[in-house]
Chains A and B, each alone.
Chain A
Amino acid sequence: MTLLALAALGVFHGLNPAMGWLFAVARGLQERSRRALLLSLPPIAAGHLASVAVVAALVVASRSVVATRWVAIGGGVVLVGFGLWRALSRRHFRWAGMRLSLPELAGWSFLMSSAHGAGLMLLPVLATAPVGGGHAEHGVAAVGGDALTGLAAAGIHTVAMFGAAGVVAVVVYEVAGLRVLRTAWFNLDRLWAGVLIAAGLLTIAVA
């Protein structure tokens, strides 16, 4: 169930043009090269992974030392607040450059994912996931195992994100063309904000 949720959220993130596949398509078209498109995807995924892993690591680290329930509630409140901000704010991410090196592209992806709260959205899953090995009470020794679980969760999520983004990018580049954007590009920002709020409420509810 947890794995499925992580993967589903990964697909959701991967489908969002703002999370990187559109940038990969643009880079491919600019160079007239599918290779340029494909080479862009790993750094985008790496940036996303880093953004998600930060949240996962924080959840796991805090779970080992303080009461899970209060962390979950606090995290849920932050999440609802962030979701409302995303829903109500009309600001958007600012970044001027188009010609980025691959490391810069990873940095762009990290900032884009973080600004959209991609990692936060995983909070209910991470907070309620069964603790690896069931040795949460064993103190410091447990942290290593838990951190691994958190990283594994971020990894599973990112693999799903990478897969979805890759498929959409290649289909748009090779088959569908960008005209499809005019009709198919729903305002994911609203849905995104809604999911953030729902995730926050869920986290609080099950805490």
Chain B
Amino acid sequence: MALWRPDPSFYASPRDAATAPPERLAYVAAFDRSATRPDAIAVVDTDPASADFGRVVGWTDLPYTGDELHHFGWNACSSALCPTAPHPHVERRYLIVPGLRSSRVYVLDTKDDPRSPVVTKVLPASELAERAGYSRPHTVHCGPDGIYLSALGGAGPDEGPGGIAVLDHTTFDVRGAWEADRGPQFLAYDFWWHLTQDVLVTSEWGTPSMIEDGIVPELLLGRKYGHALHFWDLRRRRHVQRVDLGDRYQMPLELRPAHDPTRRYGFVGVVISVEDLSASVWVWHHSGNEWAVTKVIDIPAEPADPALLPPALQPFGAVPPLVTDIDLSVDDRWLYVSCWGTGELKRYDVSDPFHPVEAGSVHLGGIVRRAAHPSFPDERLAGGPQMVEVSRDGRRVYVTNSLYGAWDDQFYPAGVGAWQALVHAGDSLVLDERFFPHGDDFRGLRVHQTRLQGGDASSDSYCFP
């Protein structure tokens, strides 16, 4: 049902969005590694005035097993105000939740009881395969003309190419593959866009067989995982340019374009350099008539006693930082970088995107460090800050600790556990001692992406500066 006034969670500009009220609830993807119990969307109370602050207050089991929930997104967001096809009276109420392993896509309605979302639609894997030719759906973004969904694999036995499917805004049916001409692109992972400039950007991970049973050392050392970005004409749906980071830089994953629609740059995190196990963050930019990428942050591996390392890392005697997620605040000032291997969340001031300045850090977990949360100082945490989400006002940062089932097991073979933490972002980064749902709170499931009620720093794009 359409609204009479625009959905209050839509903002014309990032400047306005930064004035949004604080979120009261967070939605967290939780999955069962054994694939014997259903995955779930957990709902966490984020209202500090509530008696249940920091607790799991809602739980929606999915109807099937083996999905491996990972990333998800809203059906509609601030892009509904974009002037080419404005439709601001739709509601931000459905979560579009893909199963990365099962290739199913769920639609959950959060409206009637936001603490208890209801599954209203299930797209079987065959729908994505038959209509778009894809599998292993990953990133969801609400576009001005439909819901865009990236996918890592091809249909059926096809490893690829991965790409983007477009879902209908209202029925959520798969309309088809987005690409009119994919050029040399084969590997897929994340995507986002410069909406007002008709530019779409995609990154590369690996095909299903390269990731689903864990990271394959021979492929990694053979530099076979993705190492390039692709730039596309969003309007004509055509590949424009492939920019190679160099094959030592394996797995450029999360893409965070500037929210300011008049700017044309963004950040991408690279998981690992095969030469020294370092991680890095790069900025893409448009210079002359071409796209280019420049490395702006280098995070070195930390030497460690091999006895403390999982078998995969023992030959190297070091812990790689493994930058697996990054997030850019809505005002484009702060970049948060998850170092899942070393168990650290770093913050950089990126007011000048080419010269980031480190401005704060928090340790939690880590392969060797196993840093504890201040509210449970005796509990050595496994996993590390992984998925990171920033509130629209930029004051709160939420992290969860699981990366991807098979990869968790390799880097944290004794068990990765499950936890979510809240970091207050002021002059420095401070962990909230009242907010630490973990362990049994998540009923034995692992937790991945967090989405904040009303939107967050990686959910919305804006058409006005």
**In the complex, A195 Cα to B313 Cα: how many Å?**
69
The answer to the question of A18 belonging to the interface, with a C-beta cut-off of 8 Å to chain B, is yes
The answer to whether A178 touches B197, judged by C-beta atoms less than 8 angstroms apart, is no
B:89-146 near A, CB below 8 Å: 89, 144-146
A98 near B2 with CB under 8 A, answer no
Chain A 42-94 interface residues, beta-carbon cutoff 8 Å to B: 90-94
Q: How distant is the Cα of A182 from the Cα of B465 in the complex, in angstroms?
A: 15
Is A138 positioned at the interface, with any CB of B under 8 Å from its CB?
Answer: no
**In the complex, residue of chain A having the shortest beta-carbon distance to the beta carbon of B200:** A96
> Are the CB atoms of A185 and B235 closer together than 8 Å?
no
Please, which residue of chain B has its CB at the minimum distance from the CB of A22?
B83
State whether A29 and B88 are in contact (beta carbons under 8 Å apart), knowing that A96-B145, A185-B6 are contacts in the complex: no
Is B145 touching A94 in the complex (CB atoms < 8 A)?
yes
Quick check: B83 and A190 within 8 Å, CB to CB? no
Beyond A92-B87, A96-B234, is A30–B261 a contact (Cβ under 8 Å)?
yes
Contacts of B465 in A (CB 8 A): 29-30, 32
User: Is A185's CB under 8 angstroms from B463's CB?
Assistant: no
Q: CA of A25 to CA of B196 in the docked complex: distance in angstroms?
A: 13
Q: Are A18 and B2 in contact (CB under 8 A)?
A: no
Expressed in whole angstroms, the Cα–Cα distance for A179 and B81 within the complex equals 11
Q: State in angstroms the CA–CA spacing of A22 and B463 once bound together.
A: 11
B4, B16, B144, B237: the one within 8 Å of A187 (CB): B4
| A102 on interface, CB distance cutoff 8 Å | no
A side interface size, CB within 8 A: 30
A23 interfacial by beta-carbon distance below 8 Å: yes
Q: CB-CB < 8 A to B262: which residues of A?
A: 29-30, 32
Q: Does B13 contact A (CB under 8 A)?
A: yes
Partner of A179 from the list B16, B196, B235, B237 (CB cut-off 8 Å) is: B16
- Interface membership of chain A positions 152-189, coded 1 if the CB is closer than 8 angstroms to chain B and 0 otherwise: 00000000000000000000000000110111011101
Give the number of residues in B that approach A within 8 Å (Cβ atoms): 37
Knowing A29-B464, A96-B234, A98-B196 touch, does A23 contact B10 (C-beta < 8 A)?
A: no
CA distance A181 to B197 in the complex (A): 22
Tell me, yes or no, whether A194 is within 8 Å of chain B by CB: no
Residues of B8-49 whose CB lies within 8 A of A: 8, 10-13, 16
Q: Are A26 and B198 in contact (CB under 8 A)?
A: no
Return chain B residues, CB-CB under 8 Å to A179. 12, 16
B198 to chain A, nearest CB (A): 5
**In the complex, A139 has a CB within 8 A of chain B:** no
- Given A90-B2, A93-B85, A186-B5 in contact, is the A98-B464 Cβ separation under 8 Å? no
CA distance A99 to B235 in the complex (A): 9
B85 x A94 contact (CB < 8 A): yes
Provide the bound-state CA to CA distance between A90 and B91, in Å: 12
Query: How many whole Å from B82's CB to the nearest CB in chain A?
Result: 7
Interface assignment of B333: CB less than 8 Å from any CB of chain A: no
* Interface residues in B55-97 (C-beta closer than 8 Å to A): 81-89
- Bound Cα distance A30, B262 (Å): 6
From residue A61, how far is it (CB to closest CB) to chain B in Å? 32
Q: Give the residues in chain A near B464, CB-CB below 8 Å.
A: 25-26, 29, 178
- 8 Å CB contacts to A: which residues of B216-252? 234-235, 237
Chain B residues whose C-beta falls within 8 Å of the C-beta of A182 in the assembled complex = 5-6, 8, 10-12, 16
Are B83 and A23 in contact (CB-based, < 8 A)? Answer: yes
Known: A26-B196, A94-B146. Is A181-B169 also a contact (CB below 8 A)?
no
- Does any Cβ of A come within 8 Å of B307's Cβ? no
Contacts of A181 in B (CB 8 A): 6, 12, 81, 88
A97 contacts B by Cβ under 8 Å: yes
**In whole angstroms, what is the CA distance A22 to B16 when docked?**
17
Q: Does B195 belong to the interface (CB within 8 Å)?
A: yes
Q: Are B145 and A187 in contact (CB under 8 A)?
A: no
Within 8 Å by CB of B2, from A17, A25, A29, A187, lies A187
User: Which chain B residues (192-207) contact chain A, with CB distance < 8 Å?
Assistant: 195-198
In the docked arrangement, what's the CA distance between A94 and B176, Å? Answer: 15
B16 and A99 form a contact (CB under 8 A): no
**A96 engages B5 (CB within 8 Å):** no
Knowing A96-B234, A98-B197, A99-B197, the reply to whether A26 touches B2 (Cβ < 8 A) is: no
Q: Which of A94, A97, A178 contacts B13 (CB 8 A)?
A: A178
Specify which chain A residues have a CB less than 8 angstroms from the CB of B50 in the assembled complex.
Answer: none
- The yes or no answer to B170 lying at the interface (CB within 8 A) is yes
CA distance A119 to B30 in the complex (A): 52
How far apart are the CA atoms of A22 and B85 in the complex, in Å?
A: 10
Complex Cα–Cα for A127 and B11 (A): 42
Contacting residues, chain A, for B195 (C-beta < 8 A): 98
Is B51 an interface position by the 8 A CB rule? no
Smallest CB separation, B33 vs chain A (Å): 39
Chain B's nearest CB lies how many Å from the CB of A152?
30
Whole-angstrom CA separation of A181 from B83 in the bound complex: 12
Q: Judging by beta carbons under 8 Å apart, are B86 and A30 in contact?
A: no
How long is the Cα–Cα vector from A145 to B10 in the complex, in angstroms?
50
Say yes or no for B3: interface residue by CB 8 A criterion: yes
Task: Check B83–A17 contact: CB distance below 8 A.
Answer: yes
Residues of chain B touching chain A, judged by Cβ–Cβ distance below 8 Å, are 2-6, 8, 10-13, 16, 81-89, 144-146, 169-170, 195-198, 234-235, 237, 261-262, 463-465
Q: List 10 A-B contacts (CB under 8 A).
A: A26-B196, A90-B2, A90-B170, A91-B170, A92-B87, A96-B198, A97-B198, A179-B16, A185-B88, A187-B3
- Which 8 residue pairs spanning A and B have beta carbons closest together? A97-B235, A178-B12, A23-B83, A22-B83, A187-B89, A94-B145, A92-B87, A96-B235
Q: List residues of chain A with CB under 8 Å of any chain B CB.
A: 17-18, 22-23, 25-26, 29-30, 32, 90-99, 108, 178-179, 181-183, 185-187, 189-190
